[in-house]
Chains A and B, each alone.
Chain A
Amino acid sequence: QVQLVESGGDVVQPGRSLRLSCAASGFTFSLYGIHWVRQAPGKGLEWVAYISHGGTAKSYADSVKGRFTVSRDNSKSTLYLQMNSLTAEDTAVYYCAKKGDDRTYGGSIDFWGQGTLVTVSS
């Protein structure tokens, strides 16, 4: 079965960096684009970043552009999110989320990991 397991969440001070990982299994990782979506405590869902199946296409929300970098290692079935210059507004649960195949799902997210909590606080 599909599994996405995020890790790397922690409590960090403002201005510091953190790298999140997302380990995938149960599907052919190299065939699917993956999103990062975050959810601040008690709030709604905010799309953060996307990387295509081969890693050549990337996109970012304006709120993180220039600070966050998404990457992937298809040989390890792992996705990464490098987060720099963190602020309190980045405090959230970060989910990696699999993009469904275009023909069936049109690109909607069809599966989410359990998430990892990032807290930015002094």
Chain B
Amino acid sequence: DIVMTQSPDSLAVSLGERATINCKSSQSVLHSSNNKNYLAWYQQKPGQPPKLLIYWASTRESGIPDRFSGSGSGTDFTLTISSLQAEDVAVYYCHQYLGTLTFGGGTKVEIK
């Protein structure tokens, strides 16, 4: 199975500042047939299920604010929150869906 490793485990960011979360896969999730990265990002707030933010590594899901962006290719990916808002406090997970589904360990984002 493809192992997903996120860093950091947690981070505290001031309101309005940038938050950056990294995700590394143990093998490439770039599919050669369509040149797409099978990588998604989810947000999970306390007591709630995960919510899809980004798929294809950089495509924002409908209704997701544009302060959320995804980048990267192959094995290294980043989720960026450009200007942290209070409602963004959550745990964020990366997820690969190229093979058997696997998830990163999560990154907890808090307000500094």
Number of A residues whose C-beta is below 8 Å from B? 22
In the complex, what's the smallest C-beta–C-beta distance from A39 to chain B, in angstroms?
Answer: 9
Given contacts A44-B105, A44-B106, A106-B55, contact A113 B100 (CB under 8 A): no
Instruction: Check: A29 CB closer than 8 A to any chain B CB.
Output: no
A44 in contact with B103 (CB, 8 Å):
yes
Given contacts A112-B49, A114-B49, A115-B49, contact A45 B36 (CB under 8 A): no
Instruction: Check: A100 CB closer than 8 A to any chain B CB.
Output: yes
Cβ–Cβ < 8 Å partners of B68 in chain A:
none
In the complex, what's the smallest C-beta–C-beta distance from A88 to chain B, in angstroms?
Answer: 21
Instruction: Check: A47 CB closer than 8 A to any chain B CB.
Output: yes
A35 in contact with B55 (CB, 8 Å):
no
Instruction: Check: B24 CB closer than 8 A to any chain A CB.
Output: no
Given contacts A44-B103, A44-B105, A100-B55, contact A108 B49 (CB under 8 A): no
A47 in contact with B55 (CB, 8 Å):
no
Instruction: Check: A46 CB closer than 8 A to any chain B CB.
Output: yes
Cβ–Cβ < 8 Å partners of A114 in chain B:
48-49
Instruction: Check: B88 CB closer than 8 A to any chain A CB.
Output: no
Given pairs A37-B101, A45-B50, A47-B100, 17 additional interface contacts (CB within 8 A): A44-B105, A45-B93, A45-B95, A46-B103, A47-B102, A100-B52, A105-B55, A105-B56, A106-B38, A108-B40, A108-B52, A108-B97, A109-B40, A109-B42, A109-B50, A112-B49, A112-B50
Closest 9 CB pairs of A and B: A112-B49, A47-B101, A45-B103, A108-B40, A108-B55, A108-B97, A44-B106, A44-B105, A107-B97
- B residues with CB within 8 A of A: 36, 38, 40, 42, 48-52, 55-56, 61, 93, 95, 97, 100-106
- A residues with CB within 8 A of B: 35, 37, 44-47, 50, 59, 61, 95, 100, 105-115
- Ordered by A's residue number, 6 sampled pairs between the chains whose C-beta atoms are within 8 Å are A45-B95, A47-B101, A47-B103, A95-B49, A100-B55, A108-B52
